[in-house]
């Protein structure tokens, strides 16, 4: 019997760190240049709506666990198939984030260490987290949240203090001529659409009423942080330059120097990234593992975790040969062919099916 | 099994005393005093252990009343015992017993056994006088202000110190009734404040313990907690009555063990190990700075050697240039790689600490002089070690002393060593991974169902009054900590 319970505080911190994961260092939609903040604001608002959509999906069915929700909508067998698909999707995204992680660490910390060492240690860490379970991760995230907010505040504080931010860089504030919304799929699927994984976590809350009341704060908070950070990046580097870098935040922060003592603040961004990356991968990994262990109840949970851990370890070598390919897949292929079906089409289908079943039942009842 | 072999007393007094003496192996400190009751002409034997009994008590309260009996008529047989118990013997604590093993056990606990001719029942009067030292000063947990009295090795005395402070009719002292334990153990708690489930769990675990003699509270500490592999103490032991009373007042259970000056309190949470009693005895100014400082410096002491290794070895580019120049200049003239240096001198620090704790106090001075002058100063002058390494390790060791509770500072060695190891193989990333693992571990720990990191994670807004911040006294007293607890039956 699973009676894991997490509190609303823990969920908010988990969700904030989750949404900041990867996107904070990769820079959110910087290719939109000066208009990045408009697009980011739009994405955040969509994110809030998405949050309510996912929460509503569970609420109207009485907060069932994810696998029960799928069985409710698709029936026993088809539900299991969809569950496996979802688990694989979560695991795939986990591998993608892990890959981000590995590239980032090798590029900022070391220049000549084998990728597999970093991957191995990271996978061990994530497996350990998964073995300890969702509760331990949720509590850890409460503390990590404080650290992350502190780190980001420090970064913002020092970038203001060092005086390398140029007001001209963020102007024009609105440039309608180059405002291009054709990439909207990419804008809303990452990172906000990835909240679909919280369909697995929401049922474990101890107080569902407060989720509807306070849960959106996490989305807004991470939205505000992401907008602030991307504006700072643009203000320091200039919009055109910022769009060129893979890790624009690191590049921007590298330029800060104060009094000759405070330098190399990019360390702080590295810390922040490792924290949020850890939370993001663990959430995807734990959700994927939960799905798999439900489909195969014979296998021990620990065994599944280690099996999947080995899978994502090797997966991190297979999914992309190098960073450009990794980024290309991430920006062009995954949003359209993976994110859209799993984040929008399937949840809408679930909503439709459960709604129809509910009506049928009602009619029968009358 | 024990009930099956119950040996009862007989009517014959010589047989009875012989049986008891044989059980104790005719020990030379076992004294027997014979006397004959005047008028009644019945033999009485007293058996007691010399040394643990107060002979003047025996003389005053047992011997002289017995000798002064002045009735001539024989009482009926069953009331003879009652007559002696109720009217003659003047000891405060007196019981009757018929089972041999129990009598032997009570003699060992400092009672005087009184056998009467023709009676199959024995009277036992408490005349114990244990060797004890007078109230000492707290040795382990010292503070600058506040009460300066400590527990000693006498359980009754320790209980009396708690009673002295908490004059509450709801204060309960419960003796542990486990036949396997010979040491007397008492649980102290306040009815109504204590958490019933935790109390039941402790009782259950106490009944399972199979250790005849409990020399120190750590025996219980290890038997009661589930997770002994963790470096972190899940219970708090203190020799200060004020600390124990504060814990009991906030709804925790204190366990007093006879024979040790430490009293165990449980459940305990991580933040407690950074709270010193004088946080409450000094006017409430910047308590949070001190507590945060302790936490910060403890973490720094654990991380410092690891950070030193990872920066000098993996990320020299991240060190400010002026500092880097000095470090590289030192690096050039010494023979060993930095990692080897750190390992050698880390072990040396541990060895010197061991030595200074265990050695006779006269030799300690010699060892410390050799350690500081020869190993420290001369090693640098002989160009065997970088001064920076010594500074880092010494700073780390000194920082670890900020922890007010000793049992946590023992975790320092294990943790520091692990971080040195992680930094050696992975640099800064290793240190960060280690930190996250440490956090995960702390978050998964529970002390009797209470999450170890509460009230920080899970965050308890109502318990923040006295966690890192301390509100003025009148806000935190009369405000029970909620001791957020989880169902112990649930899975991890």
Contacts of A336 (CB under 8 A, 6+ apart): A185
| Cα separation, A10 vs B260, whole angstroms | 42
State whether residue A1 sits within 8 Å of chain B by CB.
Answer: yes
State whether residue A311 sits within 8 Å of chain B by CB.
Answer: no
Q: Which residues in chain A have their CB less than 8 angstroms from residue B317's CB?
A: 264
| CB nearest B456 (choices: A122, A136, A143) | A143
Taking an 8 Å cut-off on Cβ atoms, the answer to whether B458 and A9 are in contact is: yes
Cβ neighbours, 10 Å, residue B44:
22
**What does the DSSP assignment read for B11-31?**
S-HHHHHHHHHHHTTT-TTEE
Q: Phi and psi of B430, rounded to 5°?
A: -60, -45
Better pLDDT: A185 or B46 = B46
- Order of strands across the sheet that contains B111-116: B30-36, B43-49, B111-116, B122-126, B94-97
Dihedral of CA atoms B370, B375, B379, B385 in degrees, nearest 10, equals -170
| Cα separation, A46 vs A58, whole angstroms | 19
Taking an 8 Å cut-off on Cβ atoms, the answer to whether B432 and A121 are in contact is: no
Q: Which residues in chain B have their CB less than 8 angstroms from residue A144's CB?
A: 436, 439
Query: Which of 98-117 (A) contact B at CB < 8 A?
Result: 105, 109-110, 117
Q: Are B188 and B162 in contact (CB under 8 A)?
A: yes
Better pLDDT: B422 or A322 = B422
| CB nearest A109 (choices: B429, B437, B441) | B429
Half-sphere exposure for A107 (CA within 13 Å, toward CB)? 19
Dihedral of CA atoms B484, A301, A88, A277 in degrees, nearest 10, equals 50
The tokens of A228 are what?
């602030």
Instruction: Give the model's confidence band at B438: pLDDT under 50 very low, under 70 low, under 90 confident, else very high.
Output: very high
Mean pLDDT, to the nearest integer, of A259-278? 82
| CB nearest A109 (choices: B315, B437, B491) | B315
Q: Which residues in chain B have their CB less than 8 angstroms from residue A7's CB?
A: 458-459
State whether residue A144 sits within 8 Å of chain B by CB.
Answer: yes
Q: Phi and psi of B395, rounded to 5°?
A: -60, -45
State whether residue A302 sits within 8 Å of chain B by CB.
Answer: no
- Number of helices and strands in chain A (H, E): 18, 0
| Cα separation, B263 vs B241, whole angstroms | 8
| Cα separation, B171 vs B122, whole angstroms | 34
Taking an 8 Å cut-off on Cβ atoms, the answer to whether B459 and A274 are in contact is: no
Instruction: Give the model's confidence band at A15: pLDDT under 50 very low, under 70 low, under 90 confident, else very high.
Output: very high
Taking an 8 Å cut-off on Cβ atoms, the answer to whether B437 and A263 are in contact is: no
Pairs of residues, one from chain A and one from chain B, whose beta carbons lie less than 8 Å apart: 90
**What does the DSSP assignment read for A53-87?**
HHHHHHHTTTS--HHHHHHHHH-HHHHHHHHHHHH
State whether residue A85 sits within 8 Å of chain B by CB.
Answer: no
Q: Which residues in chain B have their CB less than 8 angstroms from residue A4's CB?
A: 490-491
Q: Are B389 and B339 in contact (CB under 8 A)?
A: no
Instruction: Give the model's confidence band at A90: pLDDT under 50 very low, under 70 low, under 90 confident, else very high.
Output: very high
Q: Convert B299-316 to b/e letters by CB count within 10 Å (16 or more is b).
A: eebbbbbbbbbbbbbbbe
| CB nearest A278 (choices: B427, B436, B453) | B436
Taking an 8 Å cut-off on Cβ atoms, the answer to whether A132 and B444 are in contact is: yes
Query: Nearest CA to A197 among A189, A206, A185, A187?
Result: A189
ipTM: 0.91
Contacts of A276 (CB under 8 A, 6+ apart): A17, A18, A20, A21, A22, A24, A148
In Å, how far are A157, B320, B321, B331, B421 from B387, measured between CA atoms?
Answer: 35, 18, 18, 10, 21
Please tell me the predicted confidence (pLDDT) of residue B486.
54
| Cα separation, B270 vs B452, whole angstroms | 6
| Cα separation, B453 vs B463, whole angstroms | 12
A20 to chain B, closest Cα gap in Å: 18
Counting every residue written for chain B, the total comes to: 492
- For residue A95, is it left (φ>0), alpha (ψ between -120 and 50) or beta? alpha
Counting every residue written for chain A, the total comes to: 366
Between strands B94-97 and B30-36, the pairing is: unpaired
Closest chain A residue to B434, measured at CA = A125
Residue A3 DSSP code: -
Contacts of A158 (CB under 8 A, 6+ apart): A256, A258, A262, A265
Query: Which of 10-29 (A) contact B at CB < 8 A?
Result: 10
The tokens of A329 are what?
């897949």
Query: Nearest CA to A201 among A14, A36, A1, A9?
Result: A14
| CB nearest A129 (choices: B320, B440, B458) | B440
Helix (H) or strand (E) holding B190: strand B185-190
Q: Mean pLDDT lowest for which of A301-315, B64-78, B160-174, B288-302?
A: B64-78
Instruction: Give the model's confidence band at B3: pLDDT under 50 very low, under 70 low, under 90 confident, else very high.
Output: very low
Taking an 8 Å cut-off on Cβ atoms, the answer to whether B451 and A139 are in contact is: yes
Better pLDDT: A331 or B486 = A331
Dihedral of CA atoms B485, B488, B489, B491 in degrees, nearest 10, equals 80
Q: Are A189 and A340 in contact (CB under 8 A)?
A: yes
| CB nearest A132 (choices: B320, B432, B440) | B440
Taking an 8 Å cut-off on Cβ atoms, the answer to whether A139 and B487 are in contact is: no
pLDDT above 70 coverage of chain B, percent? 93
Q: Mean pLDDT lowest for which of A127-131, A211-215, A279-283, B485-489?
A: B485-489
Q: Which residues in chain B have their CB less than 8 angstroms from residue A132's CB?
A: 440-441, 443-444, 492
Taking an 8 Å cut-off on Cβ atoms, the answer to whether B427 and A110 are in contact is: yes
Instruction: Give the model's confidence band at A220: pLDDT under 50 very low, under 70 low, under 90 confident, else very high.
Output: very high
Half-sphere exposure for B305 (CA within 13 Å, toward CB)? 35
For helices A66-74 and A266-295, give the axis angle rounded to 10 degrees: 50
**What does the DSSP assignment read for B71-120?**
--SPPPHHHHHHHIIIII---SSEEEE-BHHHHHHHHHTTEEEEEETT-S
State whether residue A149 sits within 8 Å of chain B by CB.
Answer: no
| Cα separation, B89 vs B125, whole angstroms | 8
A338 to chain B, closest Cα gap in Å: 31
Taking an 8 Å cut-off on Cβ atoms, the answer to whether A3 and B458 are in contact is: no
B443 to chain A, closest Cα gap in Å: 5
Residue A278 DSSP code: H
Better pLDDT: B190 or A181 = B190
pLDDT above 90 coverage of chain B, percent? 14
Q: Is the peptide bond before A293 cis (omega within 30 degrees of 0)?
A: no
Instruction: Give the model's confidence band at B101: pLDDT under 50 very low, under 70 low, under 90 confident, else very high.
Output: confident
Instruction: Give the model's confidence band at B488: pLDDT under 50 very low, under 70 low, under 90 confident, else very high.
Output: very low
Using the predicted structure, report yes or no on whether residue B489 has a pLDDT greater than 50: no
Cβ neighbours, 10 Å, residue B286:
12
Contacts of A1 (CB under 8 A, 6+ apart): B491
Instruction: Give the model's confidence band at B487: pLDDT under 50 very low, under 70 low, under 90 confident, else very high.
Output: very low
CA torsion sign for B257, B261, B262, B263 is positive
Taking an 8 Å cut-off on Cβ atoms, the answer to whether B436 and A3 are in contact is: no
State whether residue A241 sits within 8 Å of chain B by CB.
Answer: no
Which residue is listed with tokens 């009930």? B3
Question: Using one digit for the tens of pLDDT, what is the confidence trace for B214-263?
Answer: 898 888 888 888 766 788 888 888 889 998 998 898 888 999 999 898 99
State whether residue A9 sits within 8 Å of chain B by CB.
Answer: yes
pLDDT above 90 coverage of chain A, percent? 28
Question: Using one digit for the tens of pLDDT, what is the confidence trace for A158-214?
Answer: 888 877 777 777 777 777 776 667 777 777 787 888 889 999 988 888 888 888 888
Percent helix, strand and coil across chain A, each rounded to 5? 80, 0, 20
Q: Which residues in chain B have their CB less than 8 angstroms from residue A104's CB?
A: none
Q: What are the residues of chain B with a beta carbon less than 8 Å away from any beta carbon of chain A?
A: 314-315, 317-318, 320, 426-430, 432-433, 436-437, 439-441, 443-444, 451, 453, 456-459, 487, 490-492
């Amino acid at each position: 019997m699973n009676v894991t319970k997490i509190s609303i505080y823990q969920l908010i911190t988990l969700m904030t760190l989750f949404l900041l994961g990867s996107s904070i260092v990769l820079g959110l939609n910087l290719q939109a240049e000066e208009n990045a903040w408009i697009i980011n604001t739009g994405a955040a608002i969509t994110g809030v709506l998405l949050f309510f959509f996912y929460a509503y999906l569970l609420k109207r069915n009485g907060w069932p666990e994810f696998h029960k929700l799928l069985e409710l909508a698709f029936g026993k067998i088809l539900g299991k198939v969809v569950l496996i698909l979802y688990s694989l999707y979560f695991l795939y995204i986990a591998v993608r984030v892990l890959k981000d992680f590995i590239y980032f660490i090798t590029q900022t910390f070391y220049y000549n260490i084998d990728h597999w060492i970093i991957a191995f240690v990271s996978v061990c860490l994530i497996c350990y987290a998964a073995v300890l379970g969702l509760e331990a991760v949720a509590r850890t995230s409460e503390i990590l949240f404080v650290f992350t907010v502190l780190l980001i505040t420090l970064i913002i504080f020092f970038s203001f203090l060092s005086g390398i931010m140029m007001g001209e860089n963020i102007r024009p504030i609105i440039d309608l001529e180059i405002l291009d919304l054709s990439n909207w799929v990419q804008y809303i699927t990452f990172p906000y659409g990835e909240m679909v994984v919280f369909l697995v976590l929401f049922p474990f809350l101890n107080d569902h009423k407060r989720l509807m009341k306070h849960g959106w704060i996490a989305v807004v908070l991470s939205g505000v942080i992401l907008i602030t950070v991307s504006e700072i990046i643009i203000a320091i580097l200039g919009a055109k330059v910022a769009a060129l870098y893979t890790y624009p935040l690191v590049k921007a922060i590298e330029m800060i120097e104060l009094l000759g003592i405070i330098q190399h603040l990019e360390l702080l961004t590295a810390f922040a990234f490792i924290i949020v990356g850890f939370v993001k991968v663990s959430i995807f990994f734990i959700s994927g593992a939960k799905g798999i262990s439900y489909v195969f109840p014979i296998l021990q949970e620990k065994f599944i975790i280690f099996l999947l851990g080995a899978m994502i370890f090797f997966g991190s070598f297979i999914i992309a040969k190098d960073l450009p390919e990794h980024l290309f897949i991430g920006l062009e292929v995954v949003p359209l062919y993976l994110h859209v079906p799993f984040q929008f089409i399937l949840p809408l289908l679930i909503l439709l099916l459960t709604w129809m079943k509910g009506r049928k039942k009602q009619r029968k009842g009358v | 099994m024990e009930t099956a072999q119950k040996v009862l007393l007989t009517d014959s007094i010589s047989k009875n005393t012989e049986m008891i003496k044989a059980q104790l192996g005719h020990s030379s400190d076992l004294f027997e005093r014979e006397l004959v009751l005047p008028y009644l002409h019945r033999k009485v034997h007293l058996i007691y252990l010399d040394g643990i009994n107060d002979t003047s008590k025996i003389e005053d309260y047992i011997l002289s009343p017995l000798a002064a009996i002045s009735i001539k008529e024989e009482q009926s047989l069953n009331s003879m015992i009652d007559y002696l118990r109720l009217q003659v013997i003047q000891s405060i604590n007196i019981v009757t017993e018929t089972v041999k093993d129990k009598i032997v056990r009570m003699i060992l606990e400092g009672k005087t056994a009184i056998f009467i001719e023709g009676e199959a029942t024995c009277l036992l009067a408490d005349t114990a006088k244990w060797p004890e030292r007078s109230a000492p000063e707290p040795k382990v947990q010292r503070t600058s202000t506040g009460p300066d009295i400590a527990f000693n090795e006498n359980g009754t005395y320790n209980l009396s110190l708690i009673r002295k402070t908490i004059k509450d009719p709801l204060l309960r002292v419960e003796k542990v009734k486990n036949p396997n334990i010979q040491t007397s153990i008492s649980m102290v708690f306040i009815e109504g404040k204590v958490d019933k489930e935790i109390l039941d769990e402790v009782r259950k675990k106490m009944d399972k313990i199979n250790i005849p003699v409990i020399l120190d509270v750590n025996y219980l500490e290890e038997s009661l907690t589930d997770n002994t592999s963790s470096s972190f103490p899940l219970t708090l032991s203190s020799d200060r009555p004020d600390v124990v009373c504060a814990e009991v007042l906030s709804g925790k259970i204190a366990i007093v063990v006879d024979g040790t000056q430490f009293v165990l309190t449980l459940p305990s949470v991580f933040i407690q190990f950074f709270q010193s009693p004088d946080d409450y005895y000094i006017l409430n100014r910047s308590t949070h700075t001190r507590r945060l400082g302790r936490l910060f410096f403890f973490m720094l002491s654990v991380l410092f050697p690891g950070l030193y290794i990872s920066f000098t070895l993996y990320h020299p580019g991240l060190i400010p240039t002026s500092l880097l120049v000095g470090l590289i200049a030192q690096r050039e003239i010494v023979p060993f790689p930095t990692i080897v240096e750190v390992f050698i001198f880390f072990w040396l620090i541990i060895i010197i600490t061991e030595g200074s704790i265990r050695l006779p106090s006269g030799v300690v001075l010699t060892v410390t002089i050799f350690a500081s002058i020869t190993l420290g100063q001369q090693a640098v002058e002989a160009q065997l070690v970088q001064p920076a390494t010594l500074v880092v390790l010494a700073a780390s060791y000194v920082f670890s002393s900020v922890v007010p509770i000793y049992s946590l500072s023992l975790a320092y060695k294990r943790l520091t060593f692990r971080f040195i190891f992680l930094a050696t193989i992975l640099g800064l990333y290793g240190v960060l991974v280690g930190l996250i693992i440490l956090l995960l571990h702390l978050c998964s720990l529970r002390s009797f169902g209470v999450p170890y990191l509460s009230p920080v994670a899970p965050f308890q807004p109502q318990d923040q009054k006295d966690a890192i911040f301390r509100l003025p006294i009148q806000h935190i007293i009369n405000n029970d900590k909620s001791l957020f607890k989880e169902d112990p039956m649930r899975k991890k």
